[in-house]
């Protein structure tokens, strides 16, 4: 299954065009702008738009994804923007970073199956230093009525209750469902129903 999923993303990313654009996700950029630059992990980073943006602000960026095509385009974008990022080809269920080692883990449209989601989110909490933050934007179940992107499997769409459970050890700075208009390349384009979350690890 993992290989089939990687094949899907390799095929999506194989052309020269950046299918989600070269600019960062707006929510991610807004949240990052309020923070002092530090160490950042970006799971499922695809073509690198968010990683490259963060690096341009002085963040030390570790990104990973299962797609080699995504990594190649991310490194091309970093070269174009004259910044450096670290990027691994790895699965979110098995990758490991040191505990208490980073300031932010950002999940930007990183949708996981129900049997892996909570485990991956728990790992991310462990990677954070005290005072570190989880930043997350993803599609909520209302997205199924839209044609602007995202999984068509409702179990992979996130609810407030899911995130309250997964991140219960954090202080909740923001958790909300909103309707917005996405302009993030060909596959995130149009009216969208998303969930946004920011949480802080206190100890």
Domain ranges for the chain: 2-200
CA 169 – CA 130 distance, rounded (Å): 12
Q: Angle 182-155-121 (CA atoms, 0-180°, nearest 5)?
A: 80
Contacts of 49 (CB under 8 A, 6+ apart): 18, 20, 21, 22, 23, 24, 25, 77
For residue 50, the surrounding DSSP H or E stretch is: helix 49-56
Q: How far apart (Å, rounded) are the C-alpha atoms in residues 24 and 9?
A: 19
Tell me the pLDDT of the chain (203 aa) as tens digits. 455 667 899 999 998 889 999 999 999 999 999 999 999 999 999 999 999 999 999 999 999 999 999 999 999 999 999 999 999 999 999 999 999 999 999 999 999 999 999 999 999 999 999 999 999 999 999 999 999 999 999 999 999 999 999 999 999 999 999 999 999 998 999 999 999 999 999 99
- Answer yes or no: are the C-beta atoms of 45 and 71 closer than 8 Å: no
Token pair 């934007």: residue:
137
Q: What is the pLDDT of residue 86?
A: 98
Architecture per CATH, 2-200: 3-Layer(aba) Sandwich (3.40)
């Amino acid at each position: 299954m993992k290989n089939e999923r990687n094949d899907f993303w390799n095929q999506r990313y194989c052309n020269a065009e950046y299918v989600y654009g070269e600019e960062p996700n707006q929510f991610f950029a807004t949240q990052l702008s309020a923070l002092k630059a530090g160490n950042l992990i970006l799971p499922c980073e695809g073509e690198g738009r968010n990683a490259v943006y963060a690096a341009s602000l002085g963040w030390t960026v570790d990104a990973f994804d299962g797609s080699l095509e995504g990594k190649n385009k991310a490194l091309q974008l970093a070269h174009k923007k004259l910044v450096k990022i670290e990027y691994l080809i790895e699965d979110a269920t098995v990758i490991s970073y040191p505990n208490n080692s980073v300031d932010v883990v950002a999940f930007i449209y990183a949708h996981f199956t129900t049997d892996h989601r909570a485990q991956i989110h728990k790992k991310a909490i462990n990677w954070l230093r005290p005072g570190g933050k989880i930043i997350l934007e993803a599609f909520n179940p209302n997205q199924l009525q839209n044609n602007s992107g995202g999984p068509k499997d409702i179990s992979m769409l996130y609810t407030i209750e899911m995130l309250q459970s997964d991140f219960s050890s954090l202080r909740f700075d923001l958790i909300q469902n909103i309707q917005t208009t996405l302009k993030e390349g060909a596959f995130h384009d149009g009216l969208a129903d998303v969930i946004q979350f920011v949480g802080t690890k206190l100890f």
